[in-house]
Amino acid sequence: MDWLDLIEKRHTTFAWDEDNIPSKELILETLQEVHTHIPSKNLQFPYQVRLFRNDDADIRKEIMTICHRNREKGAEDDHGNPQVLAPWLLGFNARYVSDLEVRYEKTSLRIRDGLGRGTNRTNDKNGRQTQTENIEIGIFSAYIMLALANKGIQTGMCQNINHDYARAEEIFDIHNDEKAIDFRFMMGIGYGKDVNSRHDYFDPRVGKHKPIPFAPVNLEVVYPRPDFDNIFKIVGEQISDKMV
């Protein structure tokens, strides 16, 4: 698949094909591809990615409840985040790497008071490591979305886990890992339905079908894209002109 075709194929997915589920082996193969080729500062990988088979009805309901979309609405009226009803989920969390940071720079300030497990789960007080984690998790997210899209598999991200971080950490077994720190977000993985339709999905919170928040093809109607010039800036032209 060429580059333009690939980035056009990827879309945020809310409606999943429940009869056609990617195999664990295919997803692991893709994760291995990304792990082998992705850049990381000094190959520290200050994050972890947990693969979760989302096929338990009770757990699906819990996850959907944790990921409530609009806090101004009750579950009956909330459109929900059905991307977390995907057959597979990836959970992203920060990873303790301070022991790696000081391998060659003994005076590094990127030190935490201990490992992740237990009550000491916050990032370093100066935020230096947090910035690296956020950047690298973002890089990995882009890589894995495109790597999966290259295999015809779609994704949908959700950061709305703030309603019950503790339970989300339990579900993804983060709380037992001494290298695991803050849980950041989830990504649904599966084969998506037609992007041109606003499909229904079964909301386990209320036990009934609802329309997905919007058809992916209508994304820019719901969330208008900012103008190119508001995001991308050309700098240094005046300096360059004076040097000519």
Q: Which CA distances in Å does 130 have to 38, 43, 112, 125, 200?
A: 19, 16, 11, 9, 38
For position 159, which CATH number holds?
A: 3.40.109.10
| pLDDT tens figures, 158-201 | 988 878 888 999 999 987 888 888 888 999 999 999 989 999 99
Which of 32-36, 123-127, 206-210, 213-217 has the weakest average pLDDT? 123-127
Query: Mean of the per-residue pLDDT values for the chain?
Result: 88
Structural domain containing residue 202: 3-243
What's the domain count of the chain?
Answer: 1
**Full-model pTM:** 0.88
| Per-residue model confidence (pLDDT) at position 26 | 98
Strand, helix or coil for residue 29: helix
Of the pLDDT bands very low, low, confident and very high (cuts 50, 70, 90), residue 96 is confident
Of the pLDDT bands very low, low, confident and very high (cuts 50, 70, 90), residue 205 is very high
Output the CA torsion sign for 204, 56, 60, 189: negative
Contacts within 8 Å (CB) and 24+ apart, 120-125: 121/181, 121/182, 122/181, 122/182, 123/94, 123/181, 123/182, 124/98
| pLDDT tens figures, 28-87 | 999 999 999 999 999 999 999 999 999 999 999 999 999 999 989 999 999 999 999 999
Whole-angstrom distance, CA of residue 116 vs CA of residue 103: 19
